[in-house]
Chains A and B, each alone.
Chain A
Amino acid sequence: MQFFLEVLIGGLLSGVMYSLVALGFVLIFKASGVFNFAQGAMVYFAALSLVGVMGKGAPLWLAFILAFGIMTILGIATEKFVLRKMVNQAPISLFMATIGLAFFIEGLAPLLWGNDVRALEIGLVDEPIPYLLDSFNIVVSSFDLTAAGLALALVAGLALFFQFTRVGRALRAVADDHQAALSIGIPLQHIWALVWAVAGFVALVAGMLWGSRNGVQFALTFTALKALPVLILGGFTSVPGAIVGGLIIGASEKLAEIYIPPVMQSMFGGNFGGIEGWFPYVMALLFLLVRPEGLFGEKHIDRV
């Protein structure tokens, strides 16, 4: 039982990290209907910028602010040079444009900061929390817990921002109908630039947490792939969906990794490892059959 709890909690906490990456997708998809393939590249770019600025001797908080500045500039530039030219184009064209953008950012990052694998030290230690270890005999990493806390705070903040502020409302309006938003005087350019900057911020937090755990390296771009099943589960347009989806994916892949191999082995013999790697995608696939809009996705409203 203790072991089960340990696996479950570990899974949930790592799930929050997936949520964080998924969140970046959700933000941009919500506001512009673009599936931003470059989100993974942005995570990499953000983390690399953070490490790069710290390498120049800046303390973490200053580096974080500067890296956020860089991501904001990147966001505004993306809007100005890529998206603005493509208003009213088919979603697939916009999607292709973000693929191009992904390659561009993946090239730009090492060009600016070099391509060595770097360690990122943000002052969090990866140790079991003594209290939980002593009284319940469960190992829960304090790093994971802090990271999850940060991610949750970010998500809660964003959800409130979307729901209750003037700009948040405008963002949702733009997501619903570009033209109508334009017609009532919402400046699409500002909104899009803002969304890309916020997505950059989310990428920065994700990059910081993932980078300090696994090292800042090109492989960070692949974290984005783990966000896909999360999105399919949670729904592409829902901030809470990204969270719940992340938790489900995180917990289920860890549980599957631990509990499925023994069963398979006893049935078929042989070795069954690495289930964690593909399990989320199978779940996503099954989920698509049952509920294609995701748990919290917006249903397409069709009145006939």
Chain B
Amino acid sequence: MSAYLSINNIEVIYDHVILVLKGVSLQVPQGKIVALLGANGAGKSTTLKAISNLLRAERGDVTKGDIQFKGERIDQRTPNDLVKGGVIQVMEGRHCFAHLTIEENLLTGAYTRPISRGELKASLDKVYEFFPRLKQRRSSQAGYTSGGEQQMCAIGRALMANPEMILLDEPSMGLAPQIVEEIFEIVKDLNQREKVSFLLAEQNTMVALRYADFGYILENGRVVMEGQAADLRSNEDVKEFYLGLSSGERKSFREVKHYRRRKRWLA
């Protein structure tokens, strides 16, 4: 198995009661961008948090299956351990430290790395190179920057940990299409120049499939479809249910029903 990050048949239960993931398996190959798509409540964030082990703090638990990174099981590691090991999550909704300046936010990202002042400065400069906008706002409190800048700050902060794999949760949330495009361009850039692999949870299927190499579609805690991003983009079902494109002519109610039936069968 050449997969870099692989999730094998995991089940996640919140609060000992609520079953959210019902056997999800997926792989992220090294140096690729993999998109995890699906509607609200499909389990995208939960999957990411299962990997980064932020679930524990939300009273969630991986009860079955295992998660491996570079051939080692990581499902019992603490987030601190995982970040040191190169896996870091950028949380949904940015979560910048509002009262810290942008630069301080970035610096906290390097907390787990025992590095010299010079190396720290070099890392900081690299982040500023990818996000020139952050450099302009370096001394303003993160809470007062725009949504796009906060998203950049959150990604930049994760970069400071020098990760090999970033779990990026909903980067497009609440952002203007132009900014979304800008952020995805940077993600692509990071992927190509810094060789960072990405697992990307997104609702914005259209954008995500344009930038990703591979995609998984989650529905009700199960993977219902997977494939090369290009294939998914041209798949009739995906077009219909996720991209809002239909084949042209109007549909009767019966045909809609037909699709519903087909979808349930898939799931």
Interface residues of A (CB under 8 A from B): 87-88, 166, 169-170, 172-173, 175-187, 298, 301, 303
Q: How many residues of B contact A (CB 8 A)?
A: 34
**Contact indicator B88/A184 (Cβ below 8 Å):** yes
Inter-chain contact A187/B57, CB cutoff 8 Å: no
B195 within 8 A of A: no
B144 within 8 A of A: yes
CB–CB A179/B141 < 8 A? no
Chain A: which residue is nearest B83 at the CB level? Answer: A185
**How far is it, in angstroms, between the C-alpha of A170 and the C-alpha of B100 when the chains are bound?**
10
Given contacts A169-B108, A301-B143, contact A182 B88 (CB under 8 A): no
Q: For the complex, is B91 an interface residue (Cβ under 8 Å from A)?
A: yes
Contacting B80 at CB < 8 Å: which of A175, A176, A185?
Answer: A185
CA distance A298 to B97 in the complex (A): 13
Q: A87-B57, A169-B107, A301-B143 are in contact. Are A183 and B97 (CB under 8 A)?
A: no
Can you report 23 residue pairs joining A to B where beta carbons are below 8 Å apart? A169-B111, A170-B108, A170-B111, A172-B97, A172-B100, A176-B99, A177-B95, A177-B96, A178-B57, A180-B97, A181-B97, A181-B108, A183-B88, A183-B90, A183-B91, A184-B157, A184-B158, A185-B83, A185-B111, A186-B112, A301-B99, A301-B141, A303-B144
A177 contact from B52, B80, B98, B109, Cβ within 8 A = B98
CB distance from B208 to the nearest CB of A (A): 21
Pair B99/A298 contact, Cβ less than 8 Å: yes
Q: Is A185 touching B100 in the complex (CB atoms < 8 A)?
A: no
Query: What 1/0 flags go to B78-118 for Cβ under 8 Å of A?
Result: 11101110001111000111111000110111011000000
Contact (A88, B99) CB under 8 Å given A184-B83, A185-B82, A185-B112:
no
Contact bitstring B143-156, A, C-beta under 8 A = 1, else 0: 11000000000000
Q: How far is the CA of A172 from the CA of B98 in the complex (A)?
A: 10
> Does residue B59 face the partner (Cβ distance < 8 Å to A)?
yes
Which 8 pairs of residues, A with B, have the shortest CB-CB distance?
A185-B83, A301-B143, A180-B95, A176-B97, A185-B112, A187-B80, A173-B108, A173-B97
Shortest Cβ gap from A303 to chain B (Å): 7
List residues of B whose CB falls within 8 A of some A CB: 52, 54, 57-59, 78-80, 82-84, 88-91, 95-100, 104-105, 107-109, 111-112, 141, 143-144, 157-158, 161
Q: Are B144 and A301 in contact (CB under 8 A)?
A: yes
A122 to B107 alpha-carbon distance, docked (Å): 42
How distant is A249 from chain B, measured CB to nearest CB, in Å? 25
Q: How far is the CA of A185 from the CA of B107 in the complex (A)?
A: 13
CB B82 to nearest CB in A, in angstroms, measures 7
A282–B104 CA distance with the chains assembled, in angstroms = 38
Contact in complex: B98, A301 (CB < 8 Å): yes
Q: Which residues of chain B are near A298, meaning CB under 8 Å? A: 99
Q: Are A183 and B52 in contact (CB under 8 A)?
A: yes
Asked if B108 and A186 make an inter-chain contact with CB atoms under 8 angstroms apart, the answer reads yes
CA distance A176 to B88 in the complex (A): 19
Contacts of B89 in A (CB 8 A): 183
CA distance A88 to B58 in the complex (A): 7
CB of A304, distance to nearest CB on chain B (Å): 12
Which residues of the other chain, A, contact B99 by a CB distance below 8 angstroms? 172, 175-176, 298, 301
> A163's closest neighbor in chain B, by CB?
B104
Question: B57 touching A88 by the CB < 8 A rule?
Answer: yes
Given contacts A177-B98, A181-B108, A183-B52, 14 further A-B contacts (CB under 8 A): A169-B107, A169-B108, A173-B100, A178-B57, A184-B157, A184-B158, A185-B82, A185-B111, A186-B80, A186-B108, A186-B111, A301-B99, A301-B143, A301-B144
Shortest B51–chain A CB gap in Å is 12
Are A183 and B79 CB-contacts (below 8 A) given A298-B99, A301-B98? Answer: yes
By a CB distance below 8 angstroms, the chain A residues around B144 are 301, 303
- Alpha-carbon distance between A88 and B55 when the two chains are bound, in angstroms: 12
Which of A178, A183, A301 counts the most B-chain CB atoms under 10 A from its CB?
A183
Whether A185 lies near B84 (C-beta < 8 A) is yes
- A303 closest partner in B (C-beta): B143
Chain A residues with CB below 8 A from B78, complex form: 187
> B158: nearest residue on chain A (CB-CB)?
A184
Most buried by A among B80, B109, B141: B80
Q: Which residues of chain A are within 8 angstroms of B105 by Cβ–Cβ distance?
A: 173
Given contacts A172-B99, A179-B91, are A184 and B161 in contact (CB under 8 A)? yes
Q: Do residues B100 and A176 form an inter-chain contact, with CB atoms below 8 A?
A: yes
Query: Pick the contact of A176 from B91, B98, B112, B158 — CB < 8 Å?
Result: B98
Q: How far is the CA of A166 from the CA of B117 in the complex (A)?
A: 11
The residues of A that contact B109 with a CB separation of less than 8 Å are 184
Contact, CB under 8 Å: A179 / B54: yes
By a CB distance below 8 angstroms, the chain B residues around A187 are 78, 80
**Do the beta carbons of A179 and B95 come within 8 Å of each other?**
yes
CA distance A185 to B110 in the complex (A): 9
Residue of A nearest to B144 (CB): A301
Cβ contacts under 8 Å, B98 to chain A: 176-177, 301
